[in-house]
Structures are given as C-alpha cells and as structure tokens.
Amino acid sequence: MQISVLADVKPLLGEGPLWDTEGERLWFIDSLGCRIFRCTSEGAEMRAWTVPSAIGSMCLRAGGGAIVALTDGFHALDLDSGEIQHIIDPEPDQPDNRLNDGKVDPKGRFLCGSMDTGEAVPTGTLWRLDTDMSLHALEKGIICSNGPCWSPDGQTLYFSDSFSGEISAFDYDVETGCVANRRTFAALPTERGGAPDGATVDGEGGIWSACVFDGRIFRFMPDGTVDRVIEMPVCKVTSVAFGGADLGTLYVTSMAEPPLPKYPGDGPLRGATFRIDGLGVTGRPEPRFAG
C-alpha cells in the first residue's frame, strides 16, 4: 500500500471525491471555498469552477453538466459556460442549514442531506431529488448528513449523522427510492474525537469511511466488523472514492481549515487530496443523475 499526494490546492474544506468513468477524471470540491476541481487520475490537467455559495456535494448528469447542492438548494451547473440555474430550495425555513454530502442511487436519483452549520442542532434532513426534479424527505432530525452509499445490490443504504458517531443502515427500495428499518451498522471509535464523514462501497461490499478529526480510514465488512484501518498523514480526512482506470485507487480529501474553532489544525499537508494505491480491492462506477 502506498499513500501519496495527488493535489495540494488547499481547499478550506475538501470534500466529495467523485470518479467519472466516462471522462476518466476525478472531481472534488472545496465546500467552504465555493469551488469545484477536476483533474486526471494522476492529478494533472487541473481545472476549477466557482459556485456562488458553499457547496456540499455534486453529481454528474447523464445528459451533461452537473447538479450541485449549494447553501440555498439544488442547482444545475453548465460545465461549459459555468452558468448556474436554481432548481429548488428544500429548506427555505431553515436559514442556518445548508446542503451537505450526497450521491446518486442505482436508478439515477440524487440523495443529499442537509446539516446545521453550527453542527449542534438536529435540523437536517436526508433528501431525494428525483429525475423529474421532485423532492422527497427520507429522514429528519439530523445534525450533519454524511456518507450516503449503497451495497452492491442497491438494497442497503449506508448513511451517517456524523455526530452520532455511527454509520446507519437502511433497507432501500431501489425501484421507489424509499427507506425503511434504520439501524446501527457500525460505531466508529471515538477515543481520538473523530466522527464518520464521507464513505464509499467497494466491489466486494466493503464500506470505507473517512473518520474526520481522527486521521484514519476504516473498511467495514457487510456485517459491521472492521476489516482494515489506514492511518493518514493528516487528521482531518473528509471523504473517499475509488477511481483510476481500474477503479483500484482510493482518493481521499481533507480540509485545510476546520469550520469551527473547536477543531484542531493539521500540518503542512492540510487540505491535500491523497491517493492510496495497492489496496488489493477495486471500487464500483458511480451512476450519473438521470434527470
């Protein structure tokens, strides 16, 4: 196994790595710096887009362009012109919330949760944006939505309210996009003050979770047991995604500046995006939004 720096663009809050199997490019975001980045699997040909407010996550669209989850809701982004078009604000009555982590389900719908920007009050909701741009609430009472991802058969949704310290599992109806039977899948160790952040599922069904403020990445087996632990060069790892030509590289984002003063700082590699090679497992292609 080898850990190396892919890119060091110093995002305030690096998040949301996303490998595009069609374009063979890695996408990641600076949530608080309001930027989107794209580069090759080796970190070359870096390009950036600016969005008008904090961005929690993004997904690519089957017909071109992207959907971005901004402070005031979901927007369509034209990647050629940079033009932004507002779609819907799911929480106009929650001025202290913003949209956070999200991913596309096996049927091309975008699941994205919101969070309290003060990271203290359970005002967040897990939303499902359907391909007809209709919006549906799946789960409420969340402080900080993170890590949505699916088992290889699509029938289990993994999701974290980070400050619960746990990864939850739901039964997921792939045809309808509805959830049921929320339960604890796994609890992350808290002796370092960490919390589950972004996550992904590999081709064997292993769940990889970035433990933010802890500096470790955990691989859980489908039964919830820990299979592997990776120590990272920085504490504030935020999210993970498999990519590269064979989907065998694990990309890891981190934050340069913590959003609240109570969180610790990091060393000179703070905010870097890393790559981990030689893990012996491969990921799965991420679907595009079908709307």
Q: Which residues are annotated as a binding site for substrate?
A: 98, 100
Measured distance CA(227)–CA(169) in Å, rounded: 18
Identity of residue 125: T
Does 197 qualify as catalytic in the annotation? Answer: yes
Identity of residue 229: V
Backbone angles phi, psi at 40, to 5 degrees: -75, 175
Measured distance CA(259)–CA(134) in Å, rounded: 31
Closest by CA position to 236, among listed 278, 267, 199: 267
C-beta separation of 199 from 210 below 8 A: yes
Give the residue ranges of the annotated binding site: 15, 98, 100, 146, 197
Measured distance CA(17)–CA(2) in Å, rounded: 19
β-strand partners of 146: 160
Measured distance CA(200)–CA(246) in Å, rounded: 16
Measured distance CA(130)–CA(145) in Å, rounded: 19
Token pair 């970190």 is at which residue? 43
Residue of 197, 202, 214, 266 with catalytic role = 197
Backbone angles phi, psi at 33, to 5 degrees: -85, 0
Contacts of 191 (CB under 8 A, 6+ apart): none
Q: Is 133 helix (H, G, I), strand (E, B) or coil?
A: coil
Measured distance CA(5)–CA(240) in Å, rounded: 14
Token pair 């340069």 is at which residue? 256
Give the residue ranges of the annotated binding site for a divalent metal cation: 15, 146, 197
Residues serving a catalytic function are: 197
